[in-house]
Amino acid sequence: MPKEPIIGIDLGTTNSCAAIVEGDNAGVPIVKLIPYKGGEYTVPSIFAIDDKGHELIGYEAKRQWQLNPKNTVYGAKRLMGRSFRSDIVETMQRVVAYSVRPGQKNDVVIDVANKEFSMPEISARILNKIRDVASNYLRVPVRRAVVTVPAYFNDRQRQAVKDAGKSIDLEVLRIINEPTAAALAYGVGKKLNETVVIFDLGGGTFDVSIIEIRDRVFEVKATGGDIFLGGIDFDNAMIHHILKDFTAKTGIDLASDPVAMQRIKDLAERTKCDLSAREEVPFNIPFITMTAQGQPLNIELKFTRKLLEQLTSGLVDRTLQMVARVLVDSGLSTKDIDEVMLVGGQTRMPVVQERLTKFFGKPPSKGVHPDEAVAIGAALYAHSLQDDTNLRLQLLDVIPMAIGLEKAGGAFHVVFPRNAPIPNAKQVTATTSFDQQTELMMRIFQGDNDQVIRNELLGEFTFSGIRADKAGKAQVEITFDVNIEGILTMHARDPSSGREMKTTVRVTQS
Ligand code: AMP
């Protein structure tokens, strides 16, 4: 074991997991998932504070969730790096029992037991737990990691993960995309020459990537996804049905009862998973509430796989539409695809596999373990960064959504189109619009809409020290630099003197 090991971390929406390379077998690295207490390999991505004020993370937090739903935070990754005004935050507010409100930078903060937490603070606690488990297992302090994020994470979300690491003295050496990590788990050491589709439907996010593997070179051809599509949405579709049915039978709306909601949520998820293996599953919760006269009421339902498929058909349709779009973006057709790889727990739903089989004309491969592939890939990449490594990997990735700037009237001027390869740099020349103007402000967005208001604001950049001159005379040459992790930096210079200008960034509301 190296003195300074680098671990791979899959920081998942529902569960997180870590892995490390321990030795090799005839040149092929052997990856070990880091076990947690009781032999589990995953840690629930849940954070809570109990009534005594103790912070709980992972299983400890999950165990008390039903009794303490208001102070138990789950699915927080979906809120990471989001501005409070985004549609996503609004949707989240409707489905979670904890309180979500705007922070000072128009980010999202959560109140847990009357204490305020930012999203990076919550992620930092989960990362810290994983690091502690890894340090105990490896018997050396772990200070460096490769962390995976959904390919569809924007610049701000990637930055938030780096910040979370920094706050607990865990250096996030590299952020890599989850589907790319899954492709590494599949392809490293096999001397492949294949084009694969990684279809990753996890607890909270959906990603699809088309990746060309040429031995140790992993080149992403196109990527797409939906940060708000995952297992939780399948659960919510069931919950919605259960609540409607209960109201129709009793006239009582359970939505405002957090403890009842938590019990329904738990059983809905379990029932959903059982329906992947069985055609019919009972859904019974005794004493869910009482009538005004104090009579106990139960939920007694029967769920069939068919009903679940009907309730969630719109969600499955959306995944297939995205697959079709990504295929078009890659310039390939279904016959160019050698393997379709499933990642993420929600891909165990039979209808997801059936639809993919129909679409590609062949069944998805079982080449990777859907829950472990991402952590394994992260560990392989981590190993390739270790000083004494003999594993050389080349990742050629793309940006998931266009990056550009706001033009007059709120139109979006694209600087990097979606699926532009990274690292990448582009220059834009701007001119002053009034006499003696010495400062220029530019708002940068990421997204696929032609109006900036529908995209995510990455930052407000101010370039100062422009040569005072008549309107339209002074120029600023602005360089947009997207690094290998998909993180943007900007700098500007005066093209007439070559002098660098001062750049300040502010992330505010759009
Ligand atoms: P992940 O983020 O990859 O851990 O995926 C977790 C999601 O997969 C959760 O929404 C689970 O409810 C869902 N899931 C896990 N097992 C199954 C299963 N057998 N059938 C359907 N969904 C599942």
pLDDT beneath 70, residues of the chain: 1-2, 506-510
pLDDT of residue 194: 96
Ligand 1 atom, smallest distance to 15 CA: 4
488, with CB counted inside 10 A (0-12, 13-18, 19+), is: buried
pTM confidence score? 0.88
Q: Tell me whether residue 493 is in a domain.
A: yes
Q: Tell me whether residue 397 is in a domain.
A: no
Of 56, 78, 173, the closest CA to residue 125 belongs to: 56
Q: Distance between CA atoms of 451 and 413, rounded to whole angstroms?
A: 9
Q: Tell me whether residue 363 is in a domain.
A: no
Distance of CA 93 from the midpoint of ligand 1 (Å): 22
**Ligand 1: does its nearest atom lie under 6 Å from the Cβ of 372?**
no
> Which of 262, 288, 310 marks a domain boundary?
310
Residues involved in catalysis = 10, 77, 178, 200
* CATH number reported for the structural domain that contains residue 294 in this entry: 3.90.640.10
> Which of 257, 279, 310 marks a domain boundary?
310
Q: Tell me whether residue 100 is in a domain.
A: no
Best of 269, 272, 305, 374 for a ligand 1 pocket test (most atoms within 8 Å of beta carbon): 272
> Which of 279, 310, 341 marks a domain boundary?
310
Q: Tell me whether residue 268 is in a domain.
A: yes
Distance of CA 486 from the midpoint of ligand 1 (Å): 28
Residues 492/463, Cβ–Cβ less than 8 Å: yes
pLDDT of residue 389: 85
Q: Ligand 1, atom 22: nearest CA belongs to which residue?
A: 346
| The total number of structural domains that make up the chain | 2
pLDDT of residue 28: 86
Rounded (5°) CA angle 503-508-510: 115
Distance of CA 347 from the midpoint of ligand 1 (Å): 7
pLDDT of residue 510: 36
Ligand 1 atom, smallest distance to 277 CA: 19
Distance of CA 324 from the midpoint of ligand 1 (Å): 23
- 7 membership: H or E segment, kind and range: strand 6-10
Q: Tell me whether residue 510 is in a domain.
A: no
Distance of CA 305 from the midpoint of ligand 1 (Å): 15
Q: Tell me whether residue 282 is in a domain.
A: yes
Domain of residue 442 covers 403-504
Q: What is 210-262 written as a DSSP string?
A: EEEEETTEEEEEEEEEETT-SHHHHHHHHHHHHHHHHHHHHS--GGG-HHHHH
Q: Tell me whether residue 115 is in a domain.
A: no
Best of 9, 14, 319 for a ligand 1 pocket test (most atoms within 8 Å of beta carbon): 14
pLDDT of residue 509: 41
